[in-house]
Amino acid sequence: MLRGPSNCPICGHDFRSDVSEGARLVGTSPAGMFMASHLQESHPDYLAWKKGKFRPSLAAGVALGLTLDFLLAFVLYNYGVHLPRDRAGGWPFLVVLFAALPVPHLLLNRRGYRRFRREWNERGGFPAPNLPLEDR
């Protein structure tokens, strides 16, 4: 069974054609493992855009997690729920924080694929003109 995406979300390249027939039968070579090399070769401008958005999305994830933690503390306080004061009292806040961390990054990735695909199609499938030559 193939795991991961079978097509490039930007240009639609079918990764299943890159997987050998024997590997396809036993499921040892997922098509998704070809995506990183395909993005490096065909869409380096997308990777440069994505790299520049990592820190802002991480900061947004921390801010979202802390905001949800404060909302959880407010709700618990209003309903009169008192968490234990020892080490086990903070686990609900950690769960909320770690659950909220990847949300902005995932949303940004999804939006980034759509935006990049639209711009890539407008350029006729060529790399962005402002990309340094050594990265092309």
Decide which of 21 and 6 is more confident.
Answer: 6
Which alpha helices (DSSP H) does the chain contain, by range?
Answer: 21-26, 35-42, 44-52, 54-78, 91-100, 102-122
Which backbone phi and psi does 59 adopt, to 5 degrees? -65, -40
The domain limits of the chain are 1-42, 43-135
Note the pLDDT of residue 125: 67
Q: Is the pLDDT score of 130 beyond 70?
A: no
Query: Contact at 8 Å (CB) between 83 and 76?
Result: yes
Q: For residue range 24-50, list pLDDT tens digits in order.
A: 545 555 666 777 788 888 888 878 877
Can you say whether residue 3 is alpha, beta or left, with left for phi > 0 and alpha for psi between -120 and 50 degrees?
beta
Greatest Cα pair distance, the chain, in angstroms, is 62
* Residue-wise pLDDT tens digits, 57-86: 899 999 999 999 999 989 988 998 877 777
